[in-house]
Amino acid sequence: MFRRKKDESEESKAADAVEPTMGGDTEAEAIAPRPFPRPTPPSPGALARSVAGPIAPSAARTAVPARATSDQVEGRKLIVGREIVLSGQITSCERLVVEGRVEASLSDSRFIEIAENGVFKGMAEIENAEIAGTFEGTLTVRQKLWIRSTGKVTGTVRYGKIEIEEGGQVAGEVQVDASKLVKTDANDGG
């Protein structure tokens, strides 16, 4: 608030040391640094606009869809990675990928994929399933069950349609669940 006023001799010495003369009488005067003016900081709004640009209304709409469609199932995808163990209840998962070990009850879901080293123990009610690893428990697949050549399913299995590659294994109580079958057109071969 209060400053000590410099006398004129101090001000002139400071000015001479900072600003070289145009003629450059000495080499030191010619290469003396000039002070930089202090920049004024940008406002937060200006900074956000300069970095990201304006946000388009269409971009905001596509970032969070109001309701997921069958093409947008990636939004509710759960991946249980290798060496991960998950136990509990899983609901409303569009796609479950098991690369580790899951001991759970799975319901209200559309697709489960058990990778070659993946293990699922428990109960699953699902629309479609692709099993290349191990499933033990009760499995109800309303549409199609794919068992790959490395897949092994043990327990109670109900399915709408099934495809088993050579080498795939199924053991236990296995039945077509007519009440869960999805009705198909007679012309589509299924």
Has residue 59 been placed in a domain? no
Has residue 118 been placed in a domain? yes
Has residue 161 been placed in a domain? yes
Provide DSSP, 3-29. -PPPPHHHHHHHHHHHS--SS--SHHH
- Measure the N-to-C terminal CA separation of the chain; round to a whole number of Å: 88
DSSP state of 153: E
pLDDT per residue as tens, the chain (190 positions): 566 665 555 555 555 554 444 444 555 555 555 555 555 555 555 544 444 444 444 333 333 333 334 444 457 899 999 999 999 999 988 999 999 999 999 998 899 999 999 999 999 999 999 999 999 999 999 999 999 999 999 999 999 999 999 999 999 999 987 565 555 444 444 4
- Residue 43 class from Cβ within 10 Å (0-12 exposed, 13-18 middle, 19+ buried)? exposed
DSSP state of 70: G
* pLDDT at residue 92, as a whole number: 87
**Residue 34, phi then psi, degrees to nearest 5:** -100, 145
Total count of domains within the chain: 1
Does the reported pTM lie above 0.75? no
* pLDDT at residue 163, as a whole number: 96
Distance, in Å, from the CA atom of 27 to the CA atom of 32, rounded to the nearest integer, reads: 9
Has residue 134 been placed in a domain? yes
Has residue 15 been placed in a domain? no
**Residue 10, phi then psi, degrees to nearest 5:** -65, -40
Has residue 125 been placed in a domain? yes
Written as six digits, the tokens of 188 are 């589509």
User: What kind and span of H or E run contains 62?
Assistant: helix 57-63
Has residue 162 been placed in a domain? yes
What's the Cα-to-Cα distance from 73 to each of 22, 82, 100, 110, 152, rounded to whole Å?
A: 71, 22, 21, 9, 26
Host domain of residue 96: 76-182
